[in-house]
Structure 1
Amino acid sequence: MTATDELTLSEDYVQDAFHSYLKSSLTQAKVERLLDVDVLSSAEADIMIAGPALCLYFAALRCTTLPPSVPLPRLPKATPPHQLTESNCPPSFLPYLRIWAQNVTPIQSLTPESQHDLARAICSLPPLQVGGGSDDIPRIAGDLRAVAIEISQRRTFQERYGDDLQAAIDAGQDISSPGRRQVKASFKPPPVYYPSPTPSPEPSPRTQTTQLPSAPSTSSLPPPDLPPRPPPKPTHNRNQSSSSLLVPSSPYSSTSASSSKQQISRPPSPTILSTTSPAIELIRETLYATLADVISLHPSIRSLLKSDPPRAYFASVALAILDMSINCIDPHDGSARGVLGQRLTLIECPAELRPFMKKLGAIGAEIRKMEDEDSIHAVQLLSSGAMEIPEPRMDRVREALEKGVSVGGRGGEVGFVNRVNGLTLGMTRLKAFRERQGEVFKVLAGVGR
């Protein structure tokens, strides 16, 4: 290792290198028919995960060093070329590098057929081999997709990913031919709102260079019909939650995995909904009500709202979805119970939301299974004289959703965390949720102040 390699590389340099590789990885995935033009041009949530995960996969195949390192491309202003290692990696990227490095040897040890099936698993495609090939494929794919989800929440990534997708779409295409339809990437970064120290949050000066207009623009929407913020109380009472800023929270809410089976009734409060509101509004407002609870009960997220608002918002929505799956979805028939005690069946649910309702129910079922298995295991350990019992898996899941998969979650929990995060990406990109996301985020940013 040279003295130059020992210096910590700048985040900008590593980001530029990553996006250079990302464009070539997306193009190669198109050539290998892992991703087609329709997928590349879509705004579907999975393209945000598959793209950076494929970049990590191809980088692992190219790796020739031990311990694993990434050969960074020669960029115009970067000479000589570098290998990205643990000793020169920017601290913010080090957790991603370590998870990637742990998977390099397992990836290279796969047969070519299993490597291709791994690439297909990363893209949520079925395997080509009968029997699914190596048993390591689901675990490796889960790790790479988990890192990709973390990368996708970085604002610098979101602002450049549309160009990466467009470069892959245009690769090999004669876009200058007269009459040829030019396919455009529809991915747009989500709106960003920075909390203000004033009671009425306004965008801070830094948003002049980083904030992009929401889609659709909030200027075209009617003024938000939100109840006024109640005066602060001396102590926080779960039954008088900050969710009253938006709509009343679900009548069934829990603060931890251990209390998820208890149904806590809360009195109704003013709401923008009526008993005849469309079903999609019921789901949306129930999610946002739960979201306010999550932010008010997690100090670390309130702190993250100041330092990294996009990541804080995503983490809080993921935790809210986890809460909804247990407390708002009936485990027997999959119906949802939300604000005002309204009930929404799967049949009544709009077609575009039905898959999300089903996934919410499946996540809730998996949580109950985890909790039951952990309880049985704890009883067995205590009966055998053990002095300690393992940390509940749902605690690790919550920590991974809040702080990232490199902090919480291990082994089998990674796949479950990915499912929750994938659902989070999908729901927050639905138009019905995005159209009020900006104004709700402004209100939520003031919850913890």
Structure 2
Amino acid sequence: MLASAEGDLMITGPALCLYFAALRSTTNPASVPLPRRSKTSPPVELSESNCPPLFVSFLRVWSSNVPRIQSLAPQYQHDLARVICGLEPLSQPPDPNLNGISADLRAVAIEISQRRSFQDRYASDLQAALDAGSPSGRSSLRVKASFVPPPVYDPSPISPSSSKTSFGRSPSPTILTANSPAIEFIRETLYASLADVLERTPSLRRLLKRDPSRAYFASVSFAILDVAVTAVTPTGAVMGVLGKELTLEECPKELQPFMAELAAIGNAAREMEEEDDEVAMRCAERGDDIPEPRLDRVRKVLEGGVGYQEGREREGQGRRSVEGRAVAFTNRINALGLGISKIKAFRDRQADVFKVLAGIE
């Protein structure tokens, strides 16, 4: 099953680990046994009492799903593992709860994948795996892992003249020309949108100072949603910077899946808005309270993580469908953001962009 999820191993791998940890959990509330430092070290369980504050909300999301996972019949537990890997369940009829549980586990896995410690460990483990598979004595032909973690934000004094950085959707022509490669137009379109998003979202700028690694991915995901909704045409083309329209056919072949997914996200977002409008009109006709639009919930989960939704539910302020559609859609956006961060053309510019964006106030 894991082989089928090779494309998003950074998400599926941790999600499956969370699934197996849930099956093995024997405490209430659920906790996770931590690796022992040595054979003689006493066992230690990760729980809310000793979990780092930044991760408590995500631990709660996982913990809330443990009873649901353990109560599944064995065939549905197997189906859940398949759904986590992007495969169809085998049992008929399928359990409607599986998509929601899978969305939660993948959301927590994304939170883990966005952390610098995981990224560094993933890069080193990937390189070790490549080295282990290489023939001995052929160091000159050593294969180097292509994954590189995103840049680290290092706070530094900002001069008064640069503290009020202003961005527009169209970058300077010195960056792009009409003949620039297609990938550069995609990159600069996303980065221009990223700057717009940070300018109009003060909470993201504050997050950049408090939790930079997560803020980086949240900002990229916001930019993806922004471009998908506002710049993707009905035909799947992207209206980019300098007013250039980029079609799927003009996009480099290896990047076409990313562009196709960007267009699909835009279509799904528009459908979500239309459905929410219909629900709002029906509620208004009946005199019922109008529920929070799903795209608004998606944006809040993009910023606050899946733990944001869990916190609202604990306070009785939120609602969640069995299928977890808002969380699943958020995962889709985040997964594209993680994938884009691994593309060389984006890595080449992201360090500089990140430094500039960190100066926005």
Give, in angstroms, the shift of residue 330 of structure 1.
0.3
Equivalent position amino acid for 1:274 in 2:
T
List aligned pairs for 1:339-418, cutoff 5 A. Answer: 339-386=241-288, 388-408=289-309, 410=320, 411-418=324-331
Tell me which residue corresponds to 2:121: 160
- For 2:106 and 2:228, the matched residues in 1 are separated by 22
What is the Cα-based RMSD across aligned positions, in Å?
Answer: 3.1
Kept in 2: contact 1:194–1:306 (CA 8 A): no
Give, in angstroms, the shift of residue 308 of structure 1.
2.1
List aligned pairs for 1:311-326, cutoff 5 A. Answer: 311-326=214-229
- For 1:53 and 1:231, the matched residues in 2 are separated by 40
1:87 aligns with 2:49: yes
- Percentage identity across aligned positions? 57
- For 2:31 and 2:350, the matched residues in 1 are separated by 39
Give, in angstroms, the shift of residue 198 of structure 1.
2.2
- The structure with higher relative contact order (CA 8 Å, sep 6+) is 2
1:199 aligns with 2:199: no
- Pair 427,187 (structure 1): closer, same or farther in 2 beyond 3 Å: closer
Partner SS for 2:175: coil
1:248 aligns with 2:149: no
Tell me which residue corresponds to 2:343: 430
Task: List gaps (5 residues or longer) in structure 2.
Answer: 311-319
Q: 1:141 aligns with which of 76, 92, 102?
A: 102
Tell me which residue corresponds to 2:203: 300
TM-score, structure 1 as length reference: 0.70
Equivalent position amino acid for 2:302 in 1:
L
Give, in angstroms, the shift of residue 176 of structure 1.
8.7
Partner SS for 1:242: coil
Kept in 2: contact 1:103–1:140 (CA 8 A): yes
TM-score, structure 2 as length reference: 0.85
Kept in 2: contact 1:199–1:446 (CA 8 A): no
Give, in angstroms, the shift of residue 140 of structure 1.
1.6
- Pair 432,169 (structure 1): closer, same or farther in 2 beyond 3 Å: closer
1:182-210 CA distances to partner (integer Å, 9 max, x unpaired)? 8775433222132422239xxxxxxxxxx
- For 2:256 and 2:133, the matched residues in 1 are separated by 39
Tell me which residue corresponds to 2:354: 441
Tell me which residue corresponds to 1:212: none
Structure ranking higher in helix proportion: 2
- Pair 176,276 (structure 1): closer, same or farther in 2 beyond 3 Å: closer
Kept in 1: contact 2:185–2:240 (CA 8 A): yes
Greater Rg by CA: 1
- For 2:40 and 2:202, the matched residues in 1 are separated by 40
Partner SS for 2:38: coil
Kept in 2: contact 1:61–1:107 (CA 8 A): yes
Q: 2:70 aligns with which of 69, 84, 108?
A: 108
- For 2:126 and 2:187, the matched residues in 1 are separated by 29
- For 1:431 and 1:101, the matched residues in 2 are separated by 37
1:150 aligns with 2:111: yes
Give, in angstroms, the shift of residue 374 of structure 1.
1.4
Tell me which residue corresponds to 2:34: 72
Give, in angstroms, the shift of residue 148 of structure 1.
0.6
Task: List gaps (5 residues or longer) in structure 1.
Answer: 1-32, 201-228, 233-240, 250-268
Partner SS for 1:83: strand
Partner SS for 1:406: helix
Give, in angstroms, the shift of residue 393 of structure 1.
1.3
Give, in angstroms, the shift of residue 335 of structure 1.
0.9
1:342-373 CA distances to partner (integer Å, 9 max, x unpaired)? 11111112112211221111111111111111
Kept in 1: contact 2:237–2:245 (CA 8 A): yes
- Pair 407,77 (structure 1): closer, same or farther in 2 beyond 3 Å: farther
- For 2:69 and 2:268, the matched residues in 1 are separated by 29
- For 1:280 and 1:175, the matched residues in 2 are separated by 32
Tell me which residue corresponds to 1:265: none
